[in-house]
Amino acid sequence: MLGLGVVLGLLLAARAARAEEVRPRVVVLDVTVSGDAPRELKKSLVASLGGGLYAAGWTVVPPEKLKEALGTAPELANCTTPTCLETLAVMLGETRLFVRARITAAGAAYNIELELLTPTAGSGGAVARIEQGCEVCSLGELNSKLSDAAVALKQRAAEQASAADAVFRVTIKSEPPGASVTIDGVDTGTTMLSADLPAGRHEVTLRYGGYRPATRTIEVNRGGVNELEVALERAPPPPPPGRYRPYKGLSLAAIGLGVVAVGAGVYLLAIDGDGTCDSGGECPELNDTLLPGAVSTGVGAVLIGAGVYLFTRKRTRRDVSVALAPLPGGGSFVVAGHF
């Protein structure tokens, strides 16, 4: 019988050890007591918090192990950021859960705040918070409430994790119907449509020919009205064809200058070789205007052509400039730009 009892005892111990192994491990980072609470209260609160965390299904890492880790890395004290928590988790044997507690006392009234943190949470590290108050509490009632708050913290974390994993049906409509829809940059279909989206904010963009694109942000959540209806605005009509000539003044000026330049060039060509001759038939001074006349005529033709082009062109963003440049034997107009 004695041997049977020893075997049963060993089996129960092994079973209990395995149960402890599957329990998530949690580290109590800090228990802060402020206000006019008695100094000896913190010790009992730490014990009550540990009991509540154990009742919630967690195994509490011994405080000595946390103290040892902070002794080698004191900069991790008051750790709250994901990066800091990740470093601390590795030092404590891959523990992924951390709890902070704040108890504020004002006479017989107490306020309890519990916060659960993990390295995989957002920028703040927190995944769940619980706050409970007690207007008139004895010390025994306070410890009992702290234990209950630890259990409620576990439930709150489970609820928030479930909500984050859930998807909800969202209906999107537009006027006029048939608009193309992108959700968070992904083409989803055309209105009216229904899509399953996770909880949180999503950016929805609708497009329809002849209408302005519309972008809306929708908050998807449990119990909310997950529906979006958008009335699209008509896009302004394009300018009438053939009436919009942004370079009309410049084109007319170029044509005018071109006509003047061609006229001057023809005149210079006409007087080339003429001069003043004496009675003996000798002409000591003859006009040498062939080159200036040809240049002026050519520049005038270019100006007229450029002016006609600009006048008939509906829109251009290129720069065009007209300048007066002297040349040997005469003057000429110069056009610079892209046509």
| Average pLDDT over every residue of 324-332 | 50
Residue pLDDT, tens place only, 113-170: 998 888 876 555 677 888 988 888 888 888 898 889 888 888 888 877 766 667 788 9
| Range with the poorest average pLDDT among 1-5, 208-212, 268-272 | 1-5
The answer to whether residues 48 and 95 belong to one domain is yes
**What does the alpha-carbon distance between residue 290 and residue 268 come to, in Å, rounded to a whole number?**
7
Mean pLDDT within 244-268 = 79
**Statement to judge: residues 90 and 188 lie in one domain:** no
Q: Flag the least confident range among 17-26, 146-155, 194-203.
A: 17-26
**Strand 330-337 vs strand 320-327: parallel, antiparallel, or unpaired?**
antiparallel
pLDDT at 321: 53
CATH number of the CATH domain containing 34 = 3.40.50.10610
Of 249, 246, 261, give the one whose Cα is nearest residue 302: 261
Q: Are 85 and 117 part of one and the same domain?
A: yes
Q: Are residues 29 and 75 in the same domain?
A: yes
Residue 1 in domain: no
Residue 3 included in any domain: no
In tens, the pLDDT along 64-87 reads: 888 888 888 888 888 878 888 888
Same domain, 172 and 213: yes
Q: Does residue 88 belong to any structural domain of this protein?
A: yes
Tell me which residue range forms the domain holding 123.
22-165
Q: Please tell me the distance from the alpha carbon of residue 292 to that of residue 332, in angstroms, as a whole number.
A: 8
Cα–Cα distance for residue pair 96/158, rounded to 1 Å: 15
Tokens coding 173: 């409509």
Q: Which two tokens stand for residue 12?
A: 């129960």
The pairing of beta strand 227-231 with beta strand 186-190:
unpaired
pTM for this one? 0.45
Identify whether residues 225 and 258 lie together within a single domain.
no
- 135 & 174 share domain: no
257 plus 130 within the same structural domain: no
Here the CATH number for the domain that contains residue 205 is 2.60.40.1120
